[in-house]
Amino acid sequence: MHIPDGYLSPATAGAMYAVTLPILYVASRKMKALVTGRSVPLIGLFAALSFVIMMFNVPLPGGTTGHAVGSVLAAIVLGPWSACLAVSVALIIQALFFGDGGILAIGANVFNMAIAMSFVGFYLYRWLSGSAAVTAPRRVLAAAVAGYIGINVGALLTGIELGIQPMLFHDAAGHALYFPYGLDMAIPVMLLGHLAIAGPVEALVTGLVVAWMQRTNPQLLESVRGARQSSVQLSRWTWGGLIALIALTPFGLLAPGTAWGEWSREELQQLGLGYIPAGFDRWSNLWSAPFSGYDVPALNNSIVGYLLSALAGVVLVLSVILALTWIVKRLMRHREDESSP
């Protein structure tokens, strides 16, 4: 579901940044209410969890791949504002260091996977779970349904953003300048894979983790009812689960093929279009990620490289969350000093 550079026009990419940045600004302001307690490790944990979850590729129809995201799970525990901030950090790290998603397309990817998924999933979960007890099976079912719907909303938005490109941006010969397929193909293909495979995987992951938290850390789910500013103790099992996922990430290499709409130039040539979109040629090499494809070229071992990339990504994500927290605390302290007599 990641949109690479070259498939969105600069105009579309700029518009998505214009929509996304104000939302992230509001989310960062709301973070002030969290930094005074012990919720920061919780935000870091779910940012790291989202990063790792997205490394587990699953095969989709047509020989392509997809993945779960974890945004709805994060929203259920953190609330939608903190969740969209946490997942955004994961997406930005992916784009900058691992080439998963483009620099120009960060605004679109954040909107689709961090913002839309978090808010849709959170409010659907709230509605479906109602007043059920934190440990009620109804909450597990509500979480699974919310995860399923949330990721398909993200897929639909991705299909729309890609599909409008050839309609809006093409040359005199009618050749698309950026993404080559229109809405009539982009939306059905994006939804088919997510409705059939990636959606159930997202639902399974979300439901199972919520069920696991009901047994091991039910206080995490109580945060949905307004305890997000309180101190939440993370059990060793919670961090242990993240470490276990990191160790299992090489299984993400088993799914063959490339995600639909994330083709390289060489793969694009094999689609039989008869041309390479000019805008894609211009913008696709805008940024060269140091560990593109979650690989460490010096090692010459894709499994070890993937595992080290997962570990490095988690460290980077946690570091960024801690840095943001430090900045927010400094700004809060500075304003308090200015307001004091």
pLDDT digits (tens, 9 = 90+) for 192-243: 999 999 999 999 999 999 998 898 878 878 755 444 444 556 667 778 888 9
Q: Is the pLDDT reported for residue 55 higher than 70? A: yes
Question: CB count, 10 Å around CB of 151?
Answer: 34
Which amino acid belongs to residue 241? G
Question: CB count, 10 Å around CB of 233?
Answer: 11
* Higher pLDDT, residue 325 or 78: 78
* Higher pLDDT, residue 221 or 170: 170
CB 42 within 8 A of CB 325: no
What pLDDT, on the 0 to 100 scale, is given for residue 229?
Answer: 42
Average pLDDT over residues 99-119: 97
Percentage of the chain surpassing pLDDT 90?
A: 67
What pLDDT, on the 0 to 100 scale, is given for residue 226?
Answer: 43
What pLDDT, on the 0 to 100 scale, is given for residue 68?
Answer: 93
Q: Give the model's confidence band at 318: pLDDT under 50 very low, under 70 low, under 90 confident, else very high.
A: very high
Does the domain made of 10-256+284-339 have the CATH classification 1.10.1760.20?
yes
Q: CA-CA distance, 8 to 22, in Å (whole number)? A: 20
Looking from the CA of 63 toward its CB, the CA atoms found within 13 Å total 3
What pLDDT, on the 0 to 100 scale, is given for residue 337?
Answer: 65
Burial 277-302 (b: 16+ CB within 10 A, else e): bebbeebbeeeebebeebbbeeeeee
- 58 has which bridge partners? 66
What pLDDT, on the 0 to 100 scale, is given for residue 33?
Answer: 65
- Range with the lowest mean pLDDT among 8-12, 19-23, 171-175? 171-175
What pLDDT, on the 0 to 100 scale, is given for residue 314?
Answer: 96
What pLDDT, on the 0 to 100 scale, is given for residue 6?
Answer: 95
CB 113 within 8 A of CB 89: no
What pLDDT, on the 0 to 100 scale, is given for residue 177?
Answer: 97
DSSP conformational letter for 198:
I
Average pLDDT over residues 162-170: 96
